Chains A and B, each alone.
Chain A
Amino acid sequence: MSKNHTWPEDGRGRVPFWVYTDPQVYREEIDKIWYGPHWLYVGLECEIPNVGDFKTTTLGERPVIMVRSGVDEITVVENRCAHRGLKFCQERFGNRQDLLCPYHQWAYSLRGDLIGVPFRRGVKKQGGMPADFDPSANGLHRLRVEEANGVVWATFSDETPSFREYLGERFWKHYTRVYDGRKLEVLGYNRQRIPGNWKLMQENIKDPYHAGLLHVFFVTFGLFRADQKSAVDIDDLGRHGILISRKGEKEQNEVTADMRQFKSDLVLNDPRILDVVQEFTGEETVGMITIFPSVILQQQVNSLTTRQIVPSGPGAFDFHWTHWTYADDSSEMKQRRTRQANLFGPAGFVSADDGEVIEFSQQGFSPSEDEAALVTMGGREIECTDHMVTETAIRGMYDYWRKVMGYA
Chain B
Amino acid sequence: MHEAMECQGAAGAGLLNSREAIRDLFDDYYATLDAVDLEAWPNFFTEDCVYRVISRENYERGFSLATIGAESRGMLMDRVTGLRTTQVYAPRYYRRFAGPLKIGRGADGAVPVEHNLLLVQTLIDKQSEIILSARCYDSVVEVDGRLALERRDVVFDSEMIPNSLIYPA
**B160 with A261: CB separation less than 8 A:** no
- Size of the chain A interface, CB-CB below 8 angstroms: 43
Chain A residues lying within 8 Å of B160, measured Cβ to Cβ, are 191-193, 318
**B63 with A186: CB separation less than 8 A:** yes
How close is A186's CB to chain B, nearest CB, in angstroms?
7
Distance in angstroms between the alpha carbons of A316 and B69 in the assembled complex: 27
How close is A250's CB to chain B, nearest CB, in angstroms?
13
Known: A269-B77, A356-B88. A193 touches B166 (CB 8 A): no
Interface SS majority for chain B: mixed
**A270 with B164: CB separation less than 8 A:** no
Known: A192-B161, A269-B74, A356-B164. A323 touches B86 (CB 8 A): no
> Can you list, as one digit per residue, whether each of A200-240 has a CB less than 8 Å from chain B (1) or not (0)?
00000000000000111100100000000000000000000
**A189 with B58: CB separation less than 8 A:** yes
B114 contacts chain A at the CB level, 8 A cutoff: no
**A189 with B55: CB separation less than 8 A:** yes
B36 contacts chain A at the CB level, 8 A cutoff: no
Closest to A345 in B: B67
Chain A residues lying within 8 Å of B24, measured Cβ to Cβ, are none
A407 contacts chain B at the CB level, 8 A cutoff: no
A296 contacts chain B at the CB level, 8 A cutoff: no
- A188: contacting residue among B64, B68, B86, CB under 8 A: B64
Distance in angstroms between the alpha carbons of A216 and B82 in the assembled complex: 9
A92 contacts chain B at the CB level, 8 A cutoff: yes
**B90 with A268: CB separation less than 8 A:** no
- B69: contacting residue among A92, A194, A268, A338, CB under 8 A: A338
B66 contacts chain A at the CB level, 8 A cutoff: yes
**A191 with B159: CB separation less than 8 A:** yes
B65 contacts chain A at the CB level, 8 A cutoff: yes
B127 contacts chain A at the CB level, 8 A cutoff: no
How close is B47's CB to chain A, nearest CB, in angstroms?
10
**B65 with A270: CB separation less than 8 A:** no
Known: A188-B63, A359-B163. A353 touches B78 (CB 8 A): no
Interface positions of B from 151 to 169, Cβ below 8 Å from A: 159-166
Interface positions of A from 338 to 375, Cβ below 8 Å from B: 338-339, 341-342, 345-347, 349, 352-353, 355-357, 359-360
- A270: contacting residue among B64, B75, B87, B88, CB under 8 A: B75
Closest to B62 in A: A188
B18 contacts chain A at the CB level, 8 A cutoff: no
**A192 with B163: CB separation less than 8 A:** yes
**A346 with B164: CB separation less than 8 A:** yes
How close is B148's CB to chain A, nearest CB, in angstroms?
17
A335 contacts chain B at the CB level, 8 A cutoff: yes
Closest to B131 in A: A346
Closest to B167 in A: A347
How close is B59's CB to chain A, nearest CB, in angstroms?
9
- B86: contacting residue among A266, A270, A346, A359, CB under 8 A: A266
Nearest 10 A-B pairs (CB), nearest first?
A188-B65, A270-B74, A269-B74, A188-B63, A216-B86, A347-B165, A188-B58, A217-B86, A346-B161, A352-B164
